[in-house]
Structure 1
């Protein structure tokens, strides 16, 4: 799990987060992102986004700000533990995205959900494998 390949994976997930969520970090960039996501969702026939409201913008900005800081930490000081924590966060994000989809959220969210699950599994599997290997060694 401490391999350079795993650390590259953790960095790559951080870059993905930075690119995708930076637009959510301010009210002005979120308004633009909201318009673009609404346009894409409607163009693909995946449902309309709700109108932009102040509380929605606040929560998007809070999420965007935290994810941007978390991504910068993983880029600046990449540690194997960050990959496991990130996998846990992605499991939670995936759970809440699935919940939103079940409640009628626009279908465009399915794409983001698939990517969250993929990043989460990619970062969790080496850690789980490592833990199982240590457990097997203790039993031997």
Structure 2
């Protein structure tokens, strides 16, 4: 395995844990069909009240994909809360880059504007978790991913 420089400051691990808590709070409601129906209704009402547009009606495939995403993100969140590691921050930063790309794609193709606040948080956490990796290689005594 190629050694990569790792940001090893306690503040970075707190950031990894905080991103896990954010994801757990935001996505736990997506993990079951019953809670997703409540979250969908809440987001639809909030988006409508804020003038951000309507949400599409619930359908079985949308519920399935929401539940799949919610289940995986809940497990990933718990891992980062219970055992935050620098590698988890790197991987989460990459995942957030992908999530942000897909949210931007949805917005560019008529997705509901209620996605904007979530896109902003994805980009912010992504930058915060990836930026230290760019500078870690220049730091003296940086540890490698192998030693994480």
TM range (shorter): over 0.9
Listed as ranges, the gaps of 5+ residues in structure 2 are 1-6, 141-148
In the aligned structure 2, how far is the partner of 1:14 from the partner of 1:109? Answer: 19
In the aligned structure 2, how far is the partner of 1:126 from the partner of 1:51? Answer: 41
Provide the residue aligned with 1:38 in structure 2: 44
Match of 1:21 among 16, 19, 27: 27
More helix by share: 1
1:131 equivalenced with 2:123 (yes/no):
no
RMSD: 0.9
1:11 equivalenced with 2:17 (yes/no):
yes
Match of 1:47 among 42, 49, 53: 53
Q: Provide the TM-score with structure 2 as the length reference.
A: 0.88
Match of 1:95 among 85, 93, 101: 101
Provide the residue aligned with 1:138 in structure 2: none
1:84-116 Cα offsets, whole Å, 9 max, x none, are: 000000000000000000111111101000000
In the aligned structure 1, how far is the partner of 2:50 from the partner of 2:84? Answer: 37
* Structure 1 stretches of at least 4 aligned residues deviating more than 2 Å after TM superposition: 131-134
- Count of matched residue positions in the alignment of Structure 1 and Structure 2: 134
Shift of 1:77: 1.2
Structure with the larger RCO, 1 or 2 (CA within 8 Å, 6+ apart): 2
Match of 1:104 among 103, 107, 110: 110
Shift of 1:131: 2.8
Provide the residue aligned with 1:2 in structure 2: 8
SS at match of 1:18: helix
